[in-house]
Amino acid sequence: MLMTVMSSSTSSSAVASTAATNVVFEIGKYKVVLQRAEPETTCSTKSSNIPVPPPKPLLIGMPCEAGEFPLLLLLHGYLLSNSFYSQLIQHIASHGFIVVAPQLYTIAGPDTTGEIKSTAAITNWLSEGLQFLLPPHVQANLSKLALAGHSRGGKVSFALALGKEGNTDRKFSALIGVDPVDGMDKGKQTPPPVLTYVPHSFDLDMAVMVIGSGLGEVKRNPLFPPCAPKGVNHEDFFNECQKPACYFVAKECGHLDMLDDETKGIRGKSTYCVCKNGKSREPMRKFVGGVVVAFLQAYLEGDSSHLMAIRDGLDETLPVELQIVKFNL
């Protein structure tokens, strides 16, 4: 089913749906705190107080208020810092989710096997170690666990969910690929390859959402390849997903436009010049944050109203123009 975004109707039901959808694209009702945790192998004095340190450095976003919250494991893109996603993490967490964003590596080659195994280790650590990092009044509901990844992290997320490498004690209930990339081109996939180019071949047994950027497959200049090349990008990932799956492509938005407004350091500065970008990062970041919240509400909490309103194009305040909307339910 292919749809384009339409103006909202004047019916009372459409207005109600639009009003509800507005909520997910803005910061939610919960105040959020960001917390870092280091593995035992580092020299951090703070981590020495953690009874069960995490396998990798973590950035955790959590609501300040008391409650039990679903959990999202969010994987960063190629050679990026988890701190570059702090505004996105805060957006999602403010709607009542705990977001755990590991730093999987600082330097990496083409092979993603180590990242897949590290993500499996972090997933297995959650049940024994995460609660030590949370305040007593904040509880993680690990029966409602989702996995998401951006760019190369999207590939790693799909690879782990498909059982390519590593085993997890916990079952994921939902999977999200944010502009996922499986290599440089068709036939030039990074190991282990995820895409098979067989339609609906991903046997995942969970709901899947794929988010794409309209400018990701466009070169910024002749010196650099596109950051999300055709043949190994969001379109191919969605084509291999089974039901239920949904797919959004944000027009005139770039591969890195969901990052923080300001990303510091050499790597942070490179995010402005490597990929073809949109005019600003805020619209794509608000869209990604909002549609992730809507998807998690639908498949972790049983409330699909926000996701369906986005699908049906009822929200005039959508922060981006959608190029493609597909649902396979």
Whole-structure pTM value = 0.92
Distance, CA of 292 to chain centre: 7
Q: What angle do CA 196, 226, 119 make, to 5 degrees?
A: 55
* Residue 10 confidence (pLDDT) above 70: no
Give the distance from CA 198 to its chain's centroid. Answer: 24
Domain ranges of the chain: 2-328
Q: Which residues contact 147 (CB under 8 A, 6 or more apart)?
A: 72, 73, 75, 119, 123, 157, 160, 161, 172, 174, 175, 176
Predicted confidence at residue 48, as pLDDT, reads: 55
pLDDT of residue 18: 40
The residue with greater pLDDT, 215 or 224, is: 215
**Band of the pLDDT at 41, cuts 50, 70, 90?**
low
Instruction: For residue 39, give both structure tokens.
Output: 């593995």
Beta-ladder partners of 250: 213, 322
- Catalytic residues, which ones? 151, 179, 255
Compute the average pLDDT of residues 230-259. 98
Cβ neighbour number for residue 7 with a 10 Å cutoff: 10
Digit-coded pLDDT (tens) for 91-126: 999 999 999 999 999 988 999 999 999 999 999 999
Length of the chain: 329
The one-letter code for the residue type at 190 is: T
Q: Decide: 181 and 151 in contact? Cβ < 8 Å.
A: yes
Asked if 195 contacts 164 with a C-beta cutoff of 8 angstroms, the reply is: no
Q: How far is it, in rounded angstroms, from Cα 176 to Cα 18?
A: 24
The overall average pLDDT reported for the chain is: 91
Q: Are 97 and 70 in contact (CB under 8 A)?
A: yes
What pLDDT, in 10s, does the model give residues 68-80? 999 999 999 999 9
- CA-wise closest residue to 209 among 233, 234, 181, 227: 234
Angle (deg, nearest 10), helices 152-161 and 113-129: 70
**Ranges of H-type helices in 210-253:** 234-239
CATH number of 2-328: 3.40.50.1820
pLDDT over threshold 80, residue 85: yes
Q: Is the pLDDT of residue 42 over 60?
A: no
The answer to whether the CB of 247 falls within 8 A of the CB of 311 is no
